Amino acid sequence: MILKKSELSEKIKSFTINFGPQHPAAHGVLRLVLNLDGEVVRKADPHIGLLHRGTEKLIEHKNFLQALPYFDRLDYVSMMAQEQTYSLAVENLLKCGIPIRAQYIRVIFCEITRLLNHLLAVGCHAMDVGATTPMLWAFEEREKLMEFYERVSGARLHSAYIRPGGVNQDLPLGLLDDLMVFLYQFGTRIDELEELLTGNRIWKQRLVDIGVTSSKEAKDWGFSGVMLRSSGVFWDLRANRPYDAYKYLHFDIPVGTHGDCFDRYLIRIFEMRQALRIIKECIETLPGGPITSYNNKIVPPSKTETKRSMESLIHHFKYYTEGFSVPASETYAATEAPKGEFGVFLVANGTNTPYRCKIKSPGFNHLQSLNFMSKGHLVADVVTIIGTQDIVFGEIDR
């Protein structure tokens, strides 16, 4: 039997492959079902849930303080940003402000967190695309930054440092000096990264005009953060809806023009430079004073106080055993996390546990657009797009 060429071509159907969940470029446990026509992507179908831990449900059974460490574990490369969001939500419900010094400390560490996140995002993105060196360099800087985490909270990653009512403890002596030293050298590190990537022919070939998103599409798909700004939308919660100390600080917000992966890379680099600027300004203008709210009904009294004051002892005891009660109401708090708008919708029913805690993670919205962003691109570009979306499964699967 002789096959005619025309019959043969009819029988070629699209080819389906599983990308992940063990693929190193899948950024964790992404299972992506790719429908290929030759090497061209027809459909990209991301499957999620492999890292589901039931965080939202677990939070309903913890008191307001015990729920906090879960937020470190959502997006595990931008820990404090999420602690801050949750703390802001609880403070909204309690209608309590926090001291100005605590606001500045929060901003310092949230910007450190932004550096941590963007270093990982750019480094890993570069490695996915084929450049090994930027990741190694970025991770060296991350080590230094995590040491700042450790010095202030005792933990390198899951710090539980930003608490409702302020921060857990004051900055240790000398930390700001060392941070300043870090800032002075870090600009050069970004320059070095840029030397390797920004003008690099391969890097540009792989990134320019890949995953182009128009501003309308970006809004339609619910993008936020870098993904949204890359397509020309000026929207940054730090500037548009300032929280904590951002309203006192001066910084620029980069906005892209093309909405492609290269724009997003450039914005991340630019944001890192702006983060340095913000931290520097914070250090220079850091006010003195308390680091937590004065109200011991919602923040624990100092240990010293508990040795001599019965009121403090009772409040300390009850704070750490029963937790504090939050008046019945609901709130939505959102911050500009490194990956985009991270939000917490919190419903309190007057008890010491949240009635409901819905988490809005930016990565979830970004991942759902993978299909439309990678349609028509080659398989290799899917890796680029996943990299530029800065996917972390801790927050997507929750």
| Amino acid at position 276, single letter | L
Which one among 313, 347, 379, 380 touches another protein, defined by CB under 8 A?
313
Options 35, 198, 306, 349; binder of another protein; rule CB under 8 A: 306
Residue 287 near residue 304, CB atoms below 8 Å: no
Give the residue, chosen from 28, 232, 242, 301, that forms a contact with another protein under the rule CB under 8 A.
Answer: 301
Min. distance of Cβ 259 from another protein in angstroms?
52
Cβ at position 58, least distance to another protein in Å: 17
Q: Does 61 bind another protein (CB under 8 A)?
A: no
Minimum CB–partner distance for residue 313 and another protein (Å): 5
Residue with Cβ nearer another protein (35 or 352): 352
Q: Is 317 in the site for another protein (CB under 8 A)?
A: yes
- Distance from C-alpha of 178 to C-alpha of 332, rounded to nearest angstrom: 36
Which residues lie below 8 Å from residue 99, measured CB to CB, with a gap of 6+? 166, 289, 290, 291, 292, 293, 294
Could you list the beta-strand ranges (E) of the chain: 15-19, 31-37, 40-47, 162-163, 166-167, 329-337, 340-348, 354-360
Pick one of 311, 327, 332, 376: the residue that binds another protein (CB under 8 A): 311
Q: How far apart are CA 135 and CA 143, in angstroms?
A: 12
Least distance CB 301 / another protein (angstroms): 7
Provide the terminal-to-terminal Cα distance of the chain, rounded to the nearest Å.
56
310 binds another protein (CB under 8 A): yes
Asked if 315 touches another protein (CB under 8 A), the answer is yes
Smallest distance from the beta carbon of 348 to another protein, in angstroms? Answer: 16
- Residue 97, interface with another protein (CB under 8 A)? no
- Residue closer to another protein (CB basis): 180 or 328: 328
The whole-angstrom separation of Cα 377 and Cα 20 is 18
Check if the beta carbon of residue 98 is closer than 8 Å to that of residue 165: yes
Under the binding rule (CB under 8 A), the answer on residue 257 touching another protein is no
Residue number, 191 or 311, with CB nearest to another protein = 311
Query: What is the three-class DSSP state of 162?
Result: strand
Rounded CA-CA distance 259/211 in Å is 8
Task: State which of positions 261-300 bind another protein (CB under 8 A).
Answer: 295-297
Scored b (16 or more CB within 10 A) or e, 88-127 reads bbbbbbbebebbbbbbbbbbbbbbbbbbbbbbbbbbbbbb
Residue located via tokens 């906090």:
68
Q: How far is the CB of 65 from another protein (least distance, A)?
A: 14
Name the minimum Å distance from CB 96 to another protein. 13
**Taking CB under 8 A as the rule, does residue 252 contact another protein?**
no
> Which residues form the interface with another protein (CB under 8 A)?
295-297, 301, 305-315, 317-318, 321-322
